[in-house]
Structure 1
Amino acid sequence: MSKNKKRTFGVVGLGNFGSSVAKDLQRFGNHVIGIDISEARVAALADTLSQAMIVDARDDAALRDAGFGDCDTAVVAMGSDLEASILSAMNLKLVGVQTVWAKATTKTHHRILKKLGVDRIVHPEVEIGQHIAQILNNPLMRDYVSLGNGYHVVNFRIPDSLEGRSLSELPHGKSYNLRCIGVMRGTEFIGQDGAECSLQRDDLLLLLGQRKDLHSFAASL
């Protein structure tokens, strides 16, 4: 398969979450089919998505007619209507969608979707809330990415106490079991482990490690 082959995505539910997913997938150059039972929501994306249609995903025949059988991946983006979410996930599997993601709002909802064979279940509000709390908890943390198994990549803003020091002087490796990926200065990548890079204000230090070690290092700064 060509790496540049356009993929086809289906998004069920065009509320705030669903419309954001659909618009970004379209922006990345994919073919996106978005459906909702709300005429206003569909109309708002009619000129943005490859296809935007008024379709009730609880009807598997309607999903087939809308082209979801040709989708590589589909996202069930509504969470408040439990029945509609469950039936939509079931029908997406029924019409042959290979990979189905779904939004869940409760633990019960999550368990039901998992039993239905949904490939990935997301809790957007919870995940964003946790992400924001982590950043608010440490003023030096600009952002982070979870890699799974407890490992994260974090970018720290250089505090005044570290200005002028080199990467080789920092205790991240021996004392905190962290790996320095490098330093970002604006849009330029300028350092890595062992490099004699003199740190400056507004530099971002990119570190890889486990959460407890990252927190300990941040607390020491």
Structure 2
Amino acid sequence: VLIIAGSMVGAAGLVLTFVMCKAMNRTLPAVLFKSFGGGGREKGTRTKVGSDAVEVAMVCDGIAKCIIVPGYGMAVSQAQHAVKEFADLLEAMDVEVKYGIHPVAGRMPGHMNVLLAEANVPYEKLIEMDDINSEMAECDVALVLGANDTVNPVARSGEGPLGGMPIIDADKARVVVFIKRSLSVGYAGVDNPLFYEDSTMMLFGDGKKMMVELNAAIKDL
């Protein structure tokens, strides 16, 4: 029985590994034997003035569509319930809200789905990367919570640690709002040029704390 159980666990782990390799556009040997991000992690030298919750709430006032892109930072801060409240507040204002789910966001495939399901987010609102990308150009606000590499436009260049990895096209939204502790690089060690775009707003701080502040600001509109 133990041998059978162990074999099933091993097989499941292998399947999970192949799923992640496909999502990152990497071969299995490249994942196993090459460092992701290497030893030369970039250090951002540029700066970006942060926004506050009131400014972001004002941007959200009157929009038609918002796409929420969760990442590992949402899991760390346990912000999923505050995210659901944010979506409910926008929907009460007749805003269409969807969630863009990258297949390797978080620690494993499906991590974001599990967390958002825990917060009672309807499954039909969780849209996979390939499908949500076709809607990004018509999105008024893309709220990126605790994600970095999975929305980094550098991946399109085909070069560096992120080269060729499929991403969510958050940069195509009219306004991008990042909720993140700092401008630090992600796991791949690559700076994200989207941080510094004029159409990007940064809410620096803990994910849950910032979402609570944003929700309070929206209620005061």
TM band (smaller chain): 0.3 to 0.5
Report which of the two has the higher share of helix. 2
**TM-score normalised over the length of structure 2:** 0.40
- In terms of fraction of residues, the more strand-rich structure is 1
Larger Rg: 1
Pick 1 or 2: higher relative contact order, CA cutoff 8 A, min separation 6.
2
TM-score (ref. length: structure 1):
0.40
